[in-house]
Structure formats: structure tokens, C-alpha cells
Chains A and B, each alone.
Chain A
Amino acid sequence: GDSVTQMEGPVTLSEEAFLTINCTYTATGYPSLFWYVQYPGEGLQLLLKATKADDKGSNKGFEATYRKETTSFHLEKGSVQVSDSAVYFCALSHNAGNNRKLIWGLGTSLAVNP
């Protein structure tokens, strides 16, 4: 079945460091790929998404490119801030059918120190 694997945390960085959180997936067909973020004490928010191969999703300085050949959707940010400290979830879903549920990675906790 479909699955999402993301790098284990916690990840601890200094402010202005470069961030990469790896995400790979296994799925049939051409799923949509997502990154969600959960800030401390808050609900889940969609950070970015990509719906087809080679698409790049971007938001708030974060980027991720849908790589079909490597079945990856790695999250990157060039210069992290303390306010980026959160848990990041990679997920996929299929765009059609009666069961368009999200398949989730386990989440990666990011702590950014000043």
C-alpha cells in the first residue's frame, strides 16, 4: 500500500541555517504531495503542496519539488528562523476515487535556536 517515510527528528538548527527534511513515498499512480506544519499548541496547517511531477510547492520561504524519479518531496528552507520551530508532516493523497484520504509520515520535529 501507499506509504510516506520522512527523516526522524528532532532536528535542531541555529537561526539562519539551511534546512532539509527528507520525505520519500511509495504510491501507485500520481498522488498529490503535501507538507503540513503544526506549531506548538496549534492545529495542523497546510504549508505547501505539489500535484504533479516536477511541480515545486513554496510558501513562507519553504520549498519542495515533486520528484517522480526518486519518489521524493524534500522540504527545504534557505534560512530558518526561531518561529519555524514546529513539527512538519509529509503526506500524500490520490486525487480521485471515493477514498481520498491522506497518508502521513510520522512527522519531524524542528527546533531552531537563536
Chain B
Amino acid sequence: SAVISQKPSRDICQRGTSLTIQCQVDSQVTMMFWYRQQPGQSLTLIATANQGSEATYESGFVIDKFPISRPNLTFSTLTVSNMSPEDSSIYLCSVIRDIGGGYTFGSGTRLTVV
């Protein structure tokens, strides 16, 4: 099963700045997913990142706010742009673990915007 290295694990950022989160997978995967988990809530899918094509964003999320890169089959980045306190959340990347489902998650990035 895939192992995901996600960084940074946490950060405290100033309002108006941007943060780029990285996910490195130890094997090639076609699809990577970026989620947000706000305090006390379930996960919300931000976008699906496929290598070689633009990311597919879910309703309520736009590329200008959450640009994603997927330069190869083992790596992806999510940028949280022009941050506000409402962006304070845990951000997670995920890949499909095996045929038939099952997803592996990165350890998450805990973002606090002040």
C-alpha cells in the first residue's frame, strides 16, 4: 500500500499570505485527492488531481484560491492563497490504496491563519 509524506505538518500564517502544502507518494498513483477538515467536522473534498491534466474542483472551491500542481505520478501540491482566518483547517492529501477502494491519507497539515 502507498505511503504518503505530507508537509508541513502544521503552520501558522498571516492573513493575506499563501501556503503551499506538498504530498509525496512512494509509488505511482493516477489520482490524488485534496481534502479539508474543519474543526469538529467531516472531510470536504477540495479537488481531484490527475497527472497531466487540470485538477477537478468541487463545488465551492476554485483554482484561484486553491491552485494545485501535479507534475508527476508521485507528487502534488496544494496552495492556499490569500489566506483568511476562515481557511484555518486541516488539509489532507489522499490516494487510492488498492483496487476495490481503500484510500491512504497523508498525516495532514494543520493550518492556523491569524
Contacts and interface: CB of A to CB of B under 8 A. Distances in A.
Interface of A: 32, 34, 42-46, 49, 51, 89, 93, 95, 98-102, 104-107
A112 B32 CA distance: 34
Contacts, number: 54
Interface residues of B, number: 23
A44 B105 contact: yes
Given A89-B42, A89-B43, A102 B103 contact: yes
A43 B92 contact: yes
10 contacts: A32-B101, A34-B102, A43-B105, A44-B43, A45-B105, A49-B100, A95-B101, A102-B103, A105-B42, A107-B41
A51 B43 contact: no
A43 to B, nearest CB: 4
Given A44-B92, A100-B31, A51 B42 contact: no
